[in-house]
Structure formats: C-alpha cells, structure tokens
Structure 1
C-alpha cells in the first residue's frame, strides 16, 4: 500500500487541511518548496542553545555524524573527556564562552504523556507500505521523537521528516540510532521538491477515529473541594454548579498543554466516569465537577487525592479522545498534542507496560556570557519575614545573544523592560514587599534570566509554585526567600525544608506530610503559609474547615514540627464587588486564626490585579506574576495604560513571497496559537499584515490586506516578522483576544524549541 500523502493541517478553527481540499495558499507554499533548492536542516549541537550546525537539506545520518570531528578525531567516542568538554571541543572560543546551565527539576506533581508504541505500529501498518516515510516534526507532534523513533524504525520506517530546527541531535543517541539502521532525516521542503510522500499526523491517530490515538495525557488529583449550588468556580466564575457538589483540583493547566479554550467544554476521566471541566482552566491547574454531593469524611469519597485524571487517551478504555478536545475547541488535534509541554514526561508504553521514559524535564537558563558576569554580589535585601535573617542575593548577570538559525522563530526577552516593570510595581505597592512569581519557567520567559533581572529591580522574594522549581533555584545559587504552594503526592517536603523553601498549605494531609518530613530533615523547621479559600474555590481551606486547619497547624507547631509564618489567599478577579467580599473574608479568617493563637509574620492575598487596584490587598507582600512580564491582568486596561512594557517579543523570518502572501517560519510547533478569524496581525518591516493560516512549522500571511494600513505590506525573503511584543507589533493581549484566550497562555505556550534570547540595552 502506497503511503498516503500528508498535507499539513491548517491551524484554523474547525478546519483540517486534506489532500482533497487544497489550501488557498498552496501555491505560495508549493512555490517556496519547489524553489528551495538545497533546503537547510538545522541541527542543535546538544549543549545549551548556541552553536547551530547547518547541514544539507537531506542526508544520510552516517555522513551527518562525520561532521562531528575535530582535528581528525571523532569527539563523540572520546570517553576520556567529560561530555560537556567533548561537546564544546569543536566550538569557536566565542561559542565556548556561551554556556547554558541545565537544572533538573524533580516535579512535585505527576504529569505524564504515555505514548502507545502499539498504537503507532498498528497505525503505521494500516497507512504505510514498504520503508514508509513518517512525519516527526515538532518533536513528533509532541509525542517525543526519542520515544517514538525506535518503535518506528523497528516497524520499518526509514525516512523521518523533521522540522528544520533541533529535532535530530547528531551527537546524541537518536542520531546514532538512525545511522545504525540506515535511516535518513529530511525536511518537508525537500520531500516536496523530490515529489515524495509521507505519513503525517494520522500516524499518531490525530485525524481519524478509525485510527488509534497514541498519546494518553494524565496527571493526578491534588485536592477535593465542597462547593454549594450556584457558587462561582475559578477565574471569572464562568461555571456555577446546579446543586451541591464536589470539585477535584487537577494538576495541569494551559502551561502544560491543557488548552484554555477547553474550559467548560470537555470532560476528563477520573475514577470510573467522565466529568466536566468546571470553570476557567488556569496556568497550572483546573477544576473538575465530580457531580457527587460532598462527603463529611474524605475517606468515604469515591475519588481521593492522588487518583489519576486522564485528559485524553484511549477511547476503548473509556477515556476521552483527543479529537473530542479538537471538536470542542476548534483547535486541530496535532496542534493540541504539540502543545503538551516539554516538562510533561513522555513514557513509551508497550503491551500496557512502560518500555522507555524520556529524560527528566529540566529548566534551562538562557545562554550567559561568562565574561560579562558581575564579579561582585548584589547587597542582600530582607523581607519582613526575614527580619534578622537576611539572605544574600545571587550575583547579577547579563544574558548574551544566543546563536540561532536565522530562519527560525526566536523569543527575545527584554530584561530592561522586566526591570522597569518590577520597579514600577514595587513602587506601587510599597511599603509592602514584592514577590516575583516565576512559575512555568518565568511565564515562558526563561527562569534564571528573569530571576536575576527581577531581583536587580527590587523583588525581594520569589514564587516558584512547585518545590522542584525552588530546588532548581537554590541549586542555581538563588538565596532569597522562596515560596512553593502546589504539592502532589510525590512532593519532596524534606528537601524543601532543608533548602529553606516556604511551603503553602491548603489541606490537613499536607500539614501531616510536612510535619513527618520535618522530623527527618537534617536542619531547620518547615515554614508554612496557611491558605484560606476566599471565593476562588480551588485550593485552600473552605471557611468552615479553616479553624480545623489552623488548630492542627498550631498543634504541630507546639510539638516543634513546623512553624506557622503566614496566612494567604487568592482572589477570583471576577468583579470589584466579588474581590472586596473576598478581602473581607480574608480579614475575618485572619482574625479567627489569631483568636486561636496564630501569630503571623506575613499576610498576602494580592496578586497582579489586586495588587495594582486595591490598597487593602497589599498587606505584607504582593505576588506579581503576569504584570511583571508586561501583560495586563485586566480586560479594560492595557499594559501601556499601567506603565508596563512587554518583556517577550516573538520573531521569525519570511521564507517566501508569492501571489500577495508570505510564508513565515513559525507554526503551532513553536506555540503560535489559533486565531478564530483572519484578523490577527503581525508586523513585517513597518507594515502590518494578517495571519490567515497556521500549520506545524509555518504560517501564511496575507500581504494584500494589512488591517489599519492603507496600502499592502511589502515583504521579501529574509525579512523579520514580529508576531507580538515588539515596537509597532500587536501586543500579546491583542493576539490572545483573537485566540479566545489570555496573554498568559500565549507566552507560556511558546514551545521549548524556540530559543529564548535575553538581552539588555
């Protein structure tokens, strides 16, 4: 059977491109492919984000591996030299000064994408013939190239269609694996030029329900919440249950790949049933209505903390299909799986058992020019919580530009803008201190670059979300106060205590686990922040459960097992009236806790929106997240109105121009999201142009209609394209509005394959 020709799915609402329905922009794309000549395939060096190696458009892997020779010696097999030295040996002196530190993060919450190798092989058998060519662009559409490649090779695949970026590492195990099997890697452009066909997203079961979906995306239940009929749930209160019910708090959000557009639209498998997502999906968690009345004793509940929650998987097992998500959101399934974050472990499954696992996810710094590192430490600052316990700040640094392929997308991070934003926000809330929230790799901006810049500008503590990120910061030399508040059943409380990370607590089981870990810790007491739910109805103790949580914490404190240092909460940002009621509820809860004997060093309830708008929400500390990165937390005020500037700008290049349309080198594999119409703009030169289609590696821009411009945009191959964030370009908020989401999802959704290039000046 001849392999079915694969045409890239166009990333437009409710529409998937097929060979029988050609795109209106096909001539532009086809002309680009036919005119490419010797297309380039860009391979990453395997260390950090610098040092790109440009090779020919298609190649056999043995000849590719031969490129890795220095002075006649193959550095890949020199076991006497450390791996890092071997990788740097072939670099220029300038490139050797650009290094990137990888900090392995033991994640506190179980998040996994299980990849069924059986499904892949079955689908390949149904679709392919002898020695088929398979599409593994965008990290095998999020399935993990290193996970799926061995199975596809074993099943007979000999040509791998790759994205023109970092999908194949010639120095690593994957490159050697392909070479040992006589396989080759080719770009889609070269395949088109040669007239060769390949099997695309259908290989992964993403286009047709007759094929088996290969990915099973799962996490764990972090908590249970009793909610009364009619009470609003999550940001904006877009969900209100019709009767008293129990919510399950689930440990994934849109930063992990649970697209926000699925809010209130899909069901998730927990226990034996499918249950609706309740309310807005947030960055790191979502709520599910279990549709059962609350129980007095959690041990009587059918669902418990730690139970598995399956977002999508195998319909034959009663799990949602990824196509259910695609149909509910209008986002094609290949784009959904491609957006499952790289921090989610990929686990190969064969015969229902684990066969292989991807490397532990990591957070990487932007490349730092070692010659520019500051030689002196910045004087320490202490928060009110750390009075008499000042901890020195880490050294300041300036990030250097990272060498990246000129034709690919890059996220430029303006550290000066971040510093100005943090300074502006800190001045607004003074004398309260400023906590810079750096969850999800600093909202996708690069963790360590942003940490140093934020501390330079006046932030005195950091919000890390999970213990693992806090440990990475400590390993990176960060000594200021750290706060982690999302804990799964695998949270390492002992190491958190030993590394002086403050812990948010929402439930009795967390207190008991922290106390047990504290009794085994080598030094120090756990510092806990008790959370009261004041109306967001996610984590935190309900008002009726608050006295019990406080009393139990105080009992453990008297026994010398922990220290109660703070009370805190989070507002729903639904309306001024709702927020003020929540602030009153917080004050009442604090008074009650004090009547029980609590003595709090810190109180914090305000995040970006409340910190800006309500003086009564500032207390001791204000937690600034998205506002610090130059994105407004409001619908009626822009970042500019608030005196804030965007920190990230997403840029790429024009690949080809034909018939009034330009093909640009950024697609949903880079995190470019789906406009609901053709009104989303990008900047090319000094003109604006409209995005009309988005696929895996590219997007098509209509130059003939440029929004508010009176004349068409001019474009030529190689021109810079700014999708959002740069001067004269749309803002992240404007893009987000066209994609039915928020700016937070836009920046956290920029995928790991896009280099972050931090700069100053």
Structure 2
C-alpha cells in the first residue's frame, strides 16, 4: 500500500537515549509511553526501552495501560489519570499501579478492590507546586490517612509517593528547591501516618539529567527518550540525544509560476519572482501546525526550502526556488540534527554533507552506512519554535494517516 507520508522511528535511538539518561541519573527509569509513545508507537517504544534497561512504563489512562498488558508487557506499569468512576477493577486485575490524587478516587479504588477480591497497588501523588493533579498541602494529610487505613485493612498497598515538577523544560534552581522541600514534607507526613512506600519519584527528563536532588528512587523519562533535548536545544543538546523520529514525504505536484502568483488559501502569500512550487501531501490533519506558517522549512533537493502560504488540512506548498524539483522527489520534514550519527557507529556529519557521500566536510565512520547521514534537516525543536509550541505537541500531533515504519535496534 502506498503512503503519502511516513514517520520512521529509530528504536536504536530510543535505546541509546535511555542509556544516556541512565548513565547520568543512576536510578531506575520509567519510560513514559503515554499518547502512543509521544506519537512514536507505545508498544515498539516500550519494548525497546525495557530491553535497554527501563524497569517501569508510564501512561495516563486505562486504555493505554490495558493495551500494554494486552501486548504482553508483564512488568510494572503506572497509570495516573482517571475519573472516579473509571473501571478500576480491570486495572487492579491487570496488576497496574494506580496514581491517586484525591480521597474520592481512593475510595472508588478500594470499592473496586473489594469487588475483585484482591488489593489495589497505588502511588499517592502530592501537588508540590504544579497546581495541576496531586493533593495539595491541605488535602494531603487526609489522603495519606485514608491510604494508611486501607493499607492496614488490606485493601490497598501503597507502593510509591510521587509528584511532578512545574518546570518541564527549564530548571529554575529556586523553583526546584521549593518543590523538593515540599516533596520532602509530603514524605514526612506520609511516614508520620505510618506509610512506608518502596518508591519516591519526582524527576522528569530535564531533572534526571541536571537536578540530582530530584532523582530519588526512579526518574520518569519522556521527551529525552525520544531524542529531544529537554532544555530546548534544536538538536540533541549537550547530552547528544538522538532524535527517534524522522518525518518524510514526497513531492506530489510541481509547477513553475510567475511573479505575482497567489499561493494557497487567501492568498496570504504572493510570489515576488518566478519560482517553482512543490506540493506536499501533509497538512494540519497530519501534524503540521498552521501556527508555523511563514517560518517553517523542509529539506528538499539537498537544502532547506520554506513552506509558503497557509498550511491546509491535507497539504502544504514549498517554494523550491530554481531547484530542479520533480514529482516523487523525497522530502524530510524533520529528523535528527546536523552532526547526529544515525547509526550510532561513530560517523561525524557536518552541514553540507549529502546523504551517502564524503563531500562537504563529512567524515564517515565505520558505522555510517551510505544514505544514513542527515545533512541539514530541520528538527522537531525547530518546528516547535516555528509554531511557538513545545516539541511534545509536534510529536504527538503526527496524525494516524502518517504511516509508522520502525528501524529495529541493531540496524
């Protein structure tokens, strides 16, 4: 079956990124595979991450957790976002840890545990400054008190206490310090209530790499797992993370137009000189945000070329200038940053290095196969900057009609 666009997912990059974080953090790692693995595919990413040493999987919903169990993953899974009337019995029977932030949720879980005839395993979440999910300072003593009561009665096991940092991509020293202090106080209150959980966890990707005080027993790795620098660098950043997804398409139509030609709806863009327009079968339904109009670029014909005019639901237009573009020519929307070794084999790639060649200053190492250099492709971080959003939104927005193809570990 022919496809209009393809997201190639490099599972070796997932494994390498997890290994990089593990080498810095020195704790157990949870691979966060919510939102279908940030758009990469939860099951393939989970398999690669666990093989690389992750000990936990993290999701936010019942459906995601049960899908992992159905795929054969028997290890620890934490699911943390539920309605009070969710089907907790299925999650308890599937041995899924449940994140709990409110007393009503805890009561509902205990009722489900009673019906199922087995205790529920829970992890209590404290709000330490994000003001989102989690019990705040006023509600926390009540939550841990009920949890201890139910634990004594045998209806729950409290395995963990956790929280979420407010700075997901920046680590303000004072802010992190305040949250660590609040987390320590939440743990103290839990101990006073008689709870002795096995796990405490607070760190996200950025904190796992750069905030030792937040690491505790387990770090939850999301964005870094997929090769995006959590501090906003356009490439892999100081930790040389490898982007796991490359979004590709092909030119579907080509036309030479004179100056003064309107492009796409509006038209918001009128050509200033004669130029070649190349049509791509990707639009906002596939994950290209309209907010990136006027700034976004793609890799076409060995160079970056701008998207011009409005991005439509199914397509967009690239100004190819005077390039000799033809229908069927390959296009890279985003991928690894220049200088990334796509095979992990030691190749050094510099801007101007065409795929599979040694020109432009490229030095090909022993693991750098022909056609596996990245030249100057745009990155997810750049697309996020163009759209004034986060890389998370770009990755999770890649639509279902974009085919996923997986490059396995070892290739």
Does structure 2 retain, via aligned residues, the 8 Å contact 1:669–1:696? Answer: yes
Give how far 1:476 is off.
1.1
Question: Counterparts of 2:301 and 2:16 in 1: how far apart (Å)?
Answer: 27
> Corresponding residue for 1:589?
186
Superimposed CA distance per residue, residues 244-275 of structure 1 (whole angstroms, 9 cap, x where no aligned partner): xxxxxxxxxxxxxxxxxxxxxxxxxxxxxxxx
Does structure 1 retain, via aligned residues, the 8 Å contact 2:160–2:197? Answer: yes
> Corresponding residue for 1:576?
173
Does structure 2 retain, via aligned residues, the 8 Å contact 1:670–1:750? Answer: yes
Q: Does 1:554 align with 2:148?
A: yes
Aligned-partner SS, 1:703: strand
2:325 pairs, out of 705, 715, 721, with: 715
Aligned pair in 2 of structure 1 residues 473, 716: CA closer, same or farther (>3 Å)?
Answer: same
Give how far 1:642 is off.
2.1
Superimposed CA distance per residue, residues 473-495 of structure 1 (whole angstroms, 9 cap, x where no aligned partner): 11111011000000014421111
Give how far 1:639 is off.
2.2
Does structure 1 retain, via aligned residues, the 8 Å contact 2:161–2:201? Answer: yes
Does structure 2 retain, via aligned residues, the 8 Å contact 1:687–1:714? Answer: no
Q: Does 1:533 align with 2:181?
A: no
TM-score of the two chains, using structure 2 as the length reference: 0.82
Q: Which blocks of at least 5 consecutive residues in structure 1 are unaligned?
A: 1-51, 53-403, 705-711
Superimposed CA distance per residue, residues 96-129 of structure 1 (whole angstroms, 9 cap, x where no aligned partner): xxxxxxxxxxxxxxxxxxxxxxxxxxxxxxxxxx
Q: Does 1:656 align with 2:253?
A: yes
Q: Kindly report the root-mean-square deviation, in angstroms, between the aligned alpha carbons of the 2 structures.
A: 1.5
> Corresponding residue for 1:419?
15
2:36 pairs, out of 415, 429, 441, with: 441
> Corresponding residue for 1:729?
377
Question: Counterparts of 1:695 and 1:476 in 2: how far apart (Å)?
Answer: 36
Aligned-partner SS, 1:669: coil
Does structure 2 retain, via aligned residues, the 8 Å contact 1:688–1:713? Answer: no
Q: Does 1:674 align with 2:261?
A: no
Q: Which blocks of at least 5 consecutive residues in structure 2 are unaligned?
A: 257-275, 337-373
1:496 pairs, out of 72, 91, 103, with: 91
Give how far 1:576 is off.
2.4
Does structure 2 retain, via aligned residues, the 8 Å contact 1:467–1:501? Answer: no
Give how far 1:564 is off.
1.1
> Corresponding residue for 1:453?
48
Aligned-partner SS, 1:662: strand
Question: Counterparts of 2:7 and 2:99 in 1: how far apart (Å)?
Answer: 32
Q: How many equivalent pairs are there?
A: 348
Question: Counterparts of 1:422 and 1:452 in 2: how far apart (Å)?
Answer: 12
Does structure 2 retain, via aligned residues, the 8 Å contact 1:412–1:649? Answer: yes
- Report which stretch shifted further, 724-733 or 548-557: 724-733
Question: Counterparts of 1:476 and 1:744 in 2: how far apart (Å)?
Answer: 25
> Corresponding residue for 2:115?
520
Superimposed CA distance per residue, residues 417-441 of structure 1 (whole angstroms, 9 cap, x where no aligned partner): 11111111122111x1010000000
Aligned-partner SS, 2:290: coil
Superimposed CA distance per residue, residues 514-562 of structure 1 (whole angstroms, 9 cap, x where no aligned partner): 111111114x421111111000000111112211111111011111111
Question: Counterparts of 1:677 and 1:449 in 2: how far apart (Å)?
Answer: 32
Question: Counterparts of 2:241 and 2:233 in 1: how far apart (Å)?
Answer: 15
1:689 pairs, out of 305, 312, 316, with: 305
> Corresponding residue for 2:104?
509
Aligned pair in 2 of structure 1 residues 637, 681: CA closer, same or farther (>3 Å)?
Answer: closer
Question: Counterparts of 1:416 and 1:636 in 2: how far apart (Å)?
Answer: 21
1:629 pairs, out of 220, 226, 238, with: 226
Give how far 1:412 is off.
0.8
Aligned pair in 2 of structure 1 residues 521, 568: CA closer, same or farther (>3 Å)?
Answer: same
Give how far 1:715 is off.
2.0
Does structure 2 retain, via aligned residues, the 8 Å contact 1:464–1:483? Answer: yes
Larger Rg: 1
Does structure 2 retain, via aligned residues, the 8 Å contact 1:684–1:714? Answer: no
Aligned-partner SS, 1:510: helix
TM-score of the two chains, using structure 1 as the length reference: 0.45
> Corresponding residue for 1:639?
236
Within-5 A mapping of 1:337-486: 404-405=2-3, 408-430=4-26, 432-486=27-81
Give how far 1:698 is off.
1.4
Q: Does 1:741 align with 2:389?
A: yes
Does structure 1 retain, via aligned residues, the 8 Å contact 2:162–2:201? Answer: yes
> Corresponding residue for 1:757?
405
Question: Counterparts of 2:281 and 2:301 in 1: how far apart (Å)?
Answer: 16
Question: Counterparts of 2:79 and 2:175 in 1: how far apart (Å)?
Answer: 26
Within-5 A mapping of 1:190-339: none
Give how far 1:633 is off.
1.9
Aligned-partner SS, 1:445: coil
> Corresponding residue for 2:320?
703
Q: Does 1:607 align with 2:204?
A: yes
